[in-house]
Structure 1
Amino acid sequence: MARIDVDLAVKTFSEHGTAAVSDAMDLLGLNGGLERLTRMSGEGTKAGPAYTLGFETVSPGVPAPAAEFIDDVPPGSVVVIANRGRTHCTVWGDILTAVAVRSGLAGTVIDGCCRDLDDIRALGYSVWSLGAYMKSGKNRVRLVTRQEPVEIGDTVVHPGDLVCADGAGAIAVPAAHVTEVTGNVLRVAGMEAAVRVDVAAGTPLREARRLHGYNQMSLRPRKAT
């Protein structure tokens, strides 16, 4: 995937948001939705390459120090943490957030919980998770994979897949399909913009959709190869 494809995709996804990205993926028969994750902090649409991390539980009494990874995450990345939906302990907090802000990361997506939420919000950093809880992950879970594929619900996220997230949640676009999805996002956004213009001018929504092929576009999904 050429660098220009990534830059264009990040810009396009950030401008048009997860709904347009989801519709664009539907046209290819792709899912990518990271279900049940909710925006906890930050604002606006964020997009960037996934930096993936996987955690596992440890037995009581087994030492498991805080995970060391944040200094290695490239600027512009979205940190994707697979904590297997665990809500009894956290894998992200205010200190990680401070470093993420300093390093220019786009945001963090967690299949689990964050803590220090008030401080994270004060820093203006974007986090999506299942919720917030105060219990530390230290000596409860440990980092076992870095930059390997991870499962978030029913979606597998690979390192370098592009993640887009906003107030509606988060979605991951496979790296192999970024160029095609980007083109579809522009098609979807252009069609919807035309519908909005006609509706604002008084055209019935049904007619505006017909004129601009709204339903015809959505009825033409195909299986991605």
Structure 2
Amino acid sequence: MSQDVLDVFRAHGTSAVSDALDLLDRGETGLPGLRRISGEGVVAGPVFTVRYETVAPGNPGPAGEFIDDVPPGAVVVVANDGRTDRTVWGDLLTLTAVRGQVAGTVIDGVCRDVAAIRESGYPLWSGGSYMKSGKHRVRLTAVQRSVRVCGVRIAPGDVLVGDDAGCLVVPAQVLDRTAEQVRRVAAAEQAIRADIAAGLPLGTARERHGYNALGLVRR
């Protein structure tokens, strides 16, 4: 993927990217229920996927060792089936991620050590927080494989975009086309803002720039 595509996503954020995906009839890639826990600004980067599963009581399930393999600029996507009673991310993983210039983490589940993570400024989204460790309760079963998070299929090569509104996934197959549509959406909205500032009614401004006529561009 080109750096230019990532720069476009970072410049305009999840709302514009979501609208662009709607125009491509690929709009169901948001991750509902996950909220920003820490960090600021817009994050966009290729996903690095990991998947956990529950282990039976008494069976070994050591802490997952993957973080040193995550390349700089990637976004870790943790598939933990939305579990809220056992965590898969905390301050030690965060410290290592910051050192490795990882772009951020998205968890289908919960994290712990929230104060330390926020103090670090590391971007993280999850379903919430809880204190109980996942060690010997869940185990790492896959790295860099297709996963499902919040009902959305995510695969290596896809891009995760996150900001204060939440996060979504741009499929690898439509990265360039999505960036093109982001530019289109952003240009129309900027023109509408200028008209509103000049005193035009919102409906008039939208009509002038074809806002409501933006149709679906089929795959």
With the length of structure 1 as denominator, give the TM-score of the two structures.
0.95
Question: How far has the Cα of 1:182 moved from its partner?
Answer: 0.3
Match of 2:45 in 1: 48
Task: Please state if 1:14 is matched with 2:10.
Answer: yes
Identity of aligned residues (%): 53
Question: Mind listing any 5+ residue stretches in structure 2 that lack a counterpart?
Answer: none
The separation in 2 between residues aligned to 1:183 and 1:222, in whole angstroms, is: 12
Matches within 5 A, 1:166-181: 166-181=163-178
SS of the residue aligned with 1:89?
coil
Match of 2:181 in 1: 184
Question: How far has the Cα of 1:8 moved from its partner?
Answer: 1.1
Matches within 5 A, 1:105-144: 105-144=102-141
Matches within 5 A, 1:30-179: 30=26, 31-179=28-176
The separation in 1 between residues aligned to 2:211 and 2:217, in whole angstroms, is: 17
Given candidates 212, 215, 221, the residue that maps to 2:216 is 221
Question: How far has the Cα of 1:154 moved from its partner?
Answer: 2.0
Please list the CA deviations of residues 34-92 of structure 1 after superposition, one character each: whole Å capped at 9, or x if unmatched. Answer: 11110000111100000001100000000111000000000000000000000001000
The separation in 2 between residues aligned to 1:212 and 1:159, in whole angstroms, is: 37
The separation in 2 between residues aligned to 1:125 and 1:173, in whole angstroms, is: 22
The separation in 1 between residues aligned to 2:85 and 2:32, in whole angstroms, is: 19
The separation in 2 between residues aligned to 1:188 and 1:41, in whole angstroms, is: 28
Amino acid at match of 2:212: N
- How big is the alpha-carbon RMSD for the aligned residues of Structure 1 and Structure 2? 0.8
With the length of structure 2 as denominator, give the TM-score of the two structures.
0.98
The separation in 1 between residues aligned to 2:101 and 2:92, in whole angstroms, is: 14
SS of the residue aligned with 2:84?
strand
Question: How far has the Cα of 1:221 moved from its partner?
Answer: 1.4
Q: Which has the higher strand share?
A: 1
Question: How far has the Cα of 1:223 moved from its partner?
Answer: 3.8
Question: How far has the Cα of 1:222 moved from its partner?
Answer: 4.0
The separation in 2 between residues aligned to 1:70 and 1:213, in whole angstroms, is: 46
SS of the residue aligned with 1:79?
strand
Question: Mind listing any 5+ residue stretches in structure 1 that lack a counterpart?
Answer: none
Question: How far has the Cα of 1:160 moved from its partner?
Answer: 1.8
Aligned length: 218
Amino acid at match of 1:27: L
Off by >2 Å, runs of 4+ in structure 1: none
